[in-house]
Chains A and B, each alone.
Chain A
Amino acid sequence: MARKVRVLIAKPGLDGHDRGAKVVANALKDAGMEIIYTGLHQTPEMIAESAVQEDVDIVGLSILSGAHMTMFPRIMELMKEKGAEHILIFGGGIIPAEDMDKLEEIGVARIFGPGTDTGDIVTFIRERFPEE
């Protein structure tokens, strides 16, 4: 059985706008990936634990509430504590360009802004995790 790419899609924080998260989840599924969807209102602890238990390759976080500078670093810290720093993290949402830069500096693999083509996200993941 060939290796499958496993992706966790989650919405940290309190905002409920899940259109983007679900569109991306659908597109990745249609691209043949296995999507673990944990849904709305997730705490960093929930996300990190789910990512570890599910042994995903990559975690996608969608935030539109402006809490990104709190959420991303906290989740990365927790993953490290759990011995899962190898899991990549990407994100999307309403995130100003300078914050995108800061997040990429601390190790977030990529932030996709509004208007992103889902094909770009598929390519981004495939490049890092080719199916064998």
Chain B
Amino acid sequence: MDRKKYEDRKKRYFDTLSGCGCQDIEYTTVSGEEVKELYTPDDIEGFDYNEELGFPGQYPYTRGVYPNMYRGRFWTQRQFAGFGTPKDTNGRYHYLLDHGQMGLSVDFDMPTIMGYDSDHKRSEGEVGRCGVAIDSLKDMELLFDGIDPGAITTSMTINAPASIMLAFYLCAGEKKGTAFEKMGGTIQNDILKEYIAQKSWIFPPEESIRIITDILAFCTDHVPRWNTISISGYHIREAGSTAIQELAFTLADGFAYVEAGIAAGLDVDKFAPRLSFFFNAHLDFFEEIVKYRVARRIWAKRMRQQYGAKDPKSLLLRFHTQTAGCSLTAQQPENNIVRTAFQGMSAVLGGTQSLHTNSMDEVLALPSEKAVRIALRTQQLIAYETGVINTIDPLAGSYFIEAKTTEMEEAAEEYFHKIDELGGVVKAIDRGFFQREIQKSAYEYQKAVEAGRKVIVGVNRFRLENEEIDIPLLRIDEEVEREQKKAVQDVREARDNDKVSRELERLRAAAEGTENLMPVIIDCARCYCTEGEITDTLKGVFGEYIEPLFI
């Protein structure tokens, strides 16, 4: 390049620019990061292609984890679903599979997520409301009725009781004649982000991490196709974090799990290949793409340099993406279809391995069939009509994208440093570091919206007066709770209760000792112990986590 010509033109450009007008708009990302009007070769001076990008499928994997990416296969279109009784949700699964969905994703109701049976007093009013109610192996059998667990993969959004739901799933598959090693899927099983953001915890951190390392060890030996932890930034973002916080806190959680596995005596290359990630796709198109690219780069570097991983599979940051629920508006909900489409596209340009696109009505209730279909079609549109899949990592080399990628990497490193100073993730949780950072960002964002510095179409600009919501909503019948209560009580009557007591006693003893809990929980599942019984037994030994207050 002719350097002199470049400098001349640049000077001329900026001279002209300063004479041009500029709208009174805050030019920042949705996370509040400054963005310049133009990025030039100056912004990526010293940029080293080999070090910072490499080729797809090559270290440090910035351009993607596979050499062929979507030419090999599309991302998995996986819509999260669950409501009512297992039978209700089973019907939705068949509907989605019939419409071309490629994998299943289970959304559990709050009692299941918190370890209560449907007939527990605290479950009142919540059974089957925001997900499907699963109380025992029996319910899991009904949930996957007519579905072959050897032929599809299933993702389960479950954390504190992940070991129990995994046990139910494996046993349900086993009863159909599918061996453990033939079953593939994911459990979220990311308890750290629960303390940090989503707050669906049961046991204290140390005990929770013991259960997680038990799962890691068990799956490595017996369920090798299972993704044992889906390290999640999604909820951190939904709780109000910025993109950088989502990235940094999630990766820090990932490092903490790796360290816990190594401390438990596991070989990093044995369990790391089964770790996966789960990110949010928020509104700021480029910021999100940058986030995915930089996540891959940081993970690969750390895994190799700090944790001594040798298997290339241990270095790959594979991730699922869900579009941002918190970006949807109750006002003019049809606009959410458009928001979701942009977000879904950013995830694809960022190289996601699977994607859930939100339905337009999720801010109002659980999604209706029509809304779900449109959301799924959105993904199919991105895949088949827009052409963005034709080439791999099309934005690489953009001055803007590469400059921002480096900038975000540095910002994340700063957070890692702070977390280290606080004594690691668990200590930082203890001190409320993450919780405070997220709350602060959430409140700042709210204030920016209310001051009109951030525009939300249909909410603080372009509103409709006296708007009538004109989309059908899914209602959960009151009957669901009664039905599900009766179902769990029937299970308790029909099973061998002596055996149940013996297995629960075995579980108590195992929890008090150091034996791997997974085989014992599986035995509990086999004789139809309920989720609540298993959780209560563990609570008796491990205690419960109490909410800390940070404001």
Q: Do A and B touch each other in the complex, judged by CB within 8 A? A: yes
Which residues of A does B touch, CB under 8 Å?
A: 13-19, 22-23, 25-27, 37, 39-41, 43, 64-67, 69-71, 94, 96-97, 113-115, 117-119
Closest to B364 in A: A96
Complex Cα spacing A69 to B125, Å: 7
Q: Are B329 and A67 in contact (CB under 8 A)?
A: no
Complex Cα spacing A119 to B446, Å: 11
Q: Render B117-149 as a binary contact track against A, CB cut-off 8 A, 1 for contact.
A: 000001111100110000000000000000000
The 10 closest A-B pairs by CB, nearest first: A70-B125, A16-B199, A66-B129, A67-B125, A14-B110, A114-B330, A115-B459, A67-B126, A16-B200, A65-B110
B443 at interface, CB cutoff 8 A: yes
Q: Render B363-377 as a binary contact track against A, CB cut-off 8 A, 1 for contact.
A: 111100000000000
Complex Cα spacing A27 to B439, Å: 12
Chain B residues with CB under 8 A of A16: 194, 198-201
- 15 further contact pairs, Cβ within 8 A, besides A18-B199, A25-B551, A66-B365: A13-B126, A15-B110, A15-B200, A37-B549, A39-B549, A43-B122, A67-B125, A70-B125, A71-B125, A94-B363, A94-B365, A114-B329, A114-B330, A114-B363, A118-B446
**Contact partner, A97, options B439, B459, B469, Cβ 8 Å:** B469
**Contact partner, B442, options A14, A15, A23, Cβ 8 Å:** A23
A94, chain B: closest CB distance, angstroms: 7
Residues 217-257 of B at the A interface (beta carbon under 8 Å): 238-240
Complex Cα spacing A115 to B462, Å: 14
Complex Cα spacing A39 to B113, Å: 18
CB within 8 Å for A15 and B238 given contacts A39-B549, A70-B124? no
Q: Are A67 and B442 in contact (CB under 8 A)?
A: no
CB within 8 Å for A26 and B551 given contacts A14-B111, A14-B116? yes
| Prevailing SS type, chain B contact patch | loop
Q: Are B365 and A13 in contact (CB under 8 A)?
A: no
Q: Are B126 and A66 in contact (CB under 8 A)?
A: yes
A42, chain B: closest CB distance, angstroms: 10
B385 at interface, CB cutoff 8 A: no
B114 at interface, CB cutoff 8 A: yes
A101, chain B: closest CB distance, angstroms: 12
B547 at interface, CB cutoff 8 A: yes
B116, chain A: closest CB distance, angstroms: 7
Q: Are A22 and B442 in contact (CB under 8 A)?
A: yes
Q: Render B84-114 as a binary contact track against A, CB cut-off 8 A, 1 for contact.
A: 0000000000000000000000000011011
Closest to B458 in A: A115
Q: Are B547 and A118 in contact (CB under 8 A)?
A: no
B267 at interface, CB cutoff 8 A: no
Closest to B329 in A: A115
B483 at interface, CB cutoff 8 A: no
Chain B residues with CB under 8 A of A94: 363-365
B396 at interface, CB cutoff 8 A: no
Chain B residues with CB under 8 A of A66: 126, 129-130, 365-366, 476
CB within 8 Å for A14 and B114 given contacts A66-B130, A118-B450? yes
